[in-house]
Amino acid sequence: SRRQARVACKRANKRLCTLAEWQYACTSKGRFNYPYGAKEKRGICNNQKPHLLEKIFGRDPKDWTYDGALNSPKLAREPGFLSKTGEFQQCRTERRVYDLVGNLHEWVSTPADFQTVSKLRRMPLYRRKQPWRPKNGIFVGGFYSNRNELGPGCHYVTFAHQPSYHDYSTGFRCCSDRNKRP
């Protein structure tokens, strides 16, 4: 969950990245839609795989319960889906930050609010409509079974879940302030 991610980052003397920081890093200062460049290249990042829930629990989302399917240990053991960090060598920024697109959704510290959601909805790119409530959490980048339904590459943003939400597709990344490093 985002709450667990914040605690883990704090224990590492870091913090959960903000949405702006994450997107700035992923887009190479706003120049690209993907960590590696402007246009999508299939197979570069760990995304666009078949939906693992369908493979293991069937096609009907009614069978994908939160405590059962969405958090099942079976999902982490299925080979060919989740990859180790850096395994997709070309899925990196020019500063060698790996796996910002695909592999796992990444929580950011920015909460969903009217201003943030309005700004995201005004962006000139396709993003399927999603429900949200103020103070929902935000996760970005998509995971291994996503395509571009909530934005392309670095602009993939989910704001439909509360900060306590967690499932097999969520992870996080920590940030630190350069000038505060020991």
pLDDT in tens, 31-52: 899 999 999 999 999 999 999 9
Residue 6 has pLDDT above 90, yes or no: yes
Residue 115 has pLDDT above 60, yes or no: yes
Residue 103 has pLDDT above 60, yes or no: yes
Cα–Cα nearest to 36, from 81, 82, 101: 101
pTM score over 0.85? yes
Residue 158: the pLDDT is 95
Residue 179: the pLDDT is 58
Residue 70 has pLDDT above 50, yes or no: yes
Over residues 159-170, the mean pLDDT reads 95
User: What average pLDDT is seen over the chain?
Assistant: 93
User: Helix/strand/coil (H, E, C) string of the chain?
Assistant: CHHHHHHHHHHCCCEECCHHHHHHHHCCCCCCCECCECCCCCCCCECCCCCHHHHHHCCCHHHCCCCCHHHCHHHHHCCCCCCCCCCCCCCECCCCCECCCECCEEEECCCCCHHHHHHHHHCCCCCCCCCCCCCCEEEECCCCCCCCCCCCHHHCEEEEECCCCCCCCEEECEECCHHHCC
